[in-house]
Structure 1
Amino acid sequence: MTYCVAVKLKAGMVFLSDSRTNAGLDQISTFRKMIIYERPGDRFMCLLSAGNLSIAQSVREILQVERLDDGEDAEPLTIWNATNMFDAARVLGSAIRHVYERDGESLKRAGVDFNVSMLFGGQIGTEGMRLFQMYAAGNFIEATGETPFFQIGESKYGKPVLDRVINPDTPLDEAAKCVLVSMDSTLKSNLSVGLPLDLAVYEAGRLSSDRITCIDENNPYFRMVRSTWGEKLRQVFDEIDRPVWDGSPTDVPLMGCSTRSQPLKKIATPKEKLI
């Protein structure tokens, strides 16, 4: 399994992925799930993948040569000549369908689902940044101000902190810290997600990035985040008052705040008590 998250902010974009792939308890491997497509000064694009590893790798390879014909007089569209991220996402969708048409039936006969999902975001030229979530059918949705981040893979463990912190005005470094905390929560709760991690931070308008790193178990910042987050969570938990049933005026009682003071209760009859 895997966990990937991508965030689009006014200040830029943040991408994070783990690298664990497993096909059973005794077959755990490491594969990179992030790939950067960059032409400095012209375009910066980042692709994160989850799902069946062989399908994801095939899509990534085909994407670099995939050509989408938009008409007889139009130059075939690729990720390298697309003039906007929407067209680049269309090329990615075409690459996914290409792999399905080539391998879908044989995978089905082998009992393997065509399971792949991807996050694809970046900036081309003077157009604003865009972020897409791609599905196995090659279709996609785009992030908005109301939904500034996407997750794929084991998303449930890391989502609460993103919901509480991330909004379009979040600074880039704060967002990077938040996605690392989100990843730590996932690592803590799910063994199918594992180090090392790939992190890319893109500043709006730069059309390149020098803030791309691989994080392993010895990375001092991530070790600090993991230990501090755990300690602070425990500290905040300890500072919350325990529930009281009939408190003094200074206590916050657990009972008495609702017109329905008790759940439905069944009282056993004398006959039932003897059974």
Structure 2
Amino acid sequence: MATFKSPRLKIVEKRNWSNRHPDAGYTKHVRLIDSDIVHTWVESEQDIVMDFMDVELLKLVLEECGLMDKPFNIIFDLNNVSDISYRYKKSITDLLFNWEPYLGCICFFQVSSSMKLILASFTSVAPEKFCIVQAETYKDALQKIQAYKTEGICRDNPDTSNAFDNSDVRQQFISAIAKISWLNMLDVPISIPPSDSIYFHFFRSLESLRRDLWEKETEREKETAQLRQECENRITQMTIKMNAQTEVNKKASQQLKMEIDELKTRVATQDM
């Protein structure tokens, strides 16, 4: 891990601020820089796929540093990271939408080519209030975070006044895919450019896919609800049957007890 030393930055490291991922072949490390910058990176011998986000580790660091209810920023070293799992992607969206208002700027650095599209998708679905930037090195990442903290400098938000200009269409397409796959926003229609646009058929096909997936999901939910209702009805019927059988057994037990008592009485009478 390359580091940038600065006498002005206080660095806090603890032995328990790490987590081993044996199945994925890496260890996640975290440390705190300048009182509110969470620096995280992976230690591995080869390129890895991050399997799940260490949410509890992040909470531990924030708690031990008194940042659970204070603004904080993140720099993430993606060296040796070639991909992330679907589970990790879901955790990212949870981080973005449920950690407000304290998460400020996230800066990724040493980003491999295979991760650039993923980060583009990540950025496209992020709420506008979040600052998401990329950097080449650790030093650059710190400088961008410091700029955000002192001057409010962040990524430029795309101009959506003409959403299907050539300069923006890639971002629109990535955003649409991310909303379908990451956020499962199948009930939200995709904006389609005018029919004379060269991108019309691409977005039309994507919208058709969204509708098909939405119908499939709706049908699955109906089938699940029907199956749940059938199971509940069966449980009710079996409960009634069990209670009835219990009552029958209770009466049979009482009858048997009466017969036993009667036999005992006859035996006692004969003994006399």
Normalising by structure 1, report the TM-score: 0.29
Which structure's residues are more often helix, by fraction?
Answer: 2
Using CA pairs under 8 Å that are at least 6 residues apart, name the structure with larger relative contact order, 1 or 2.
1
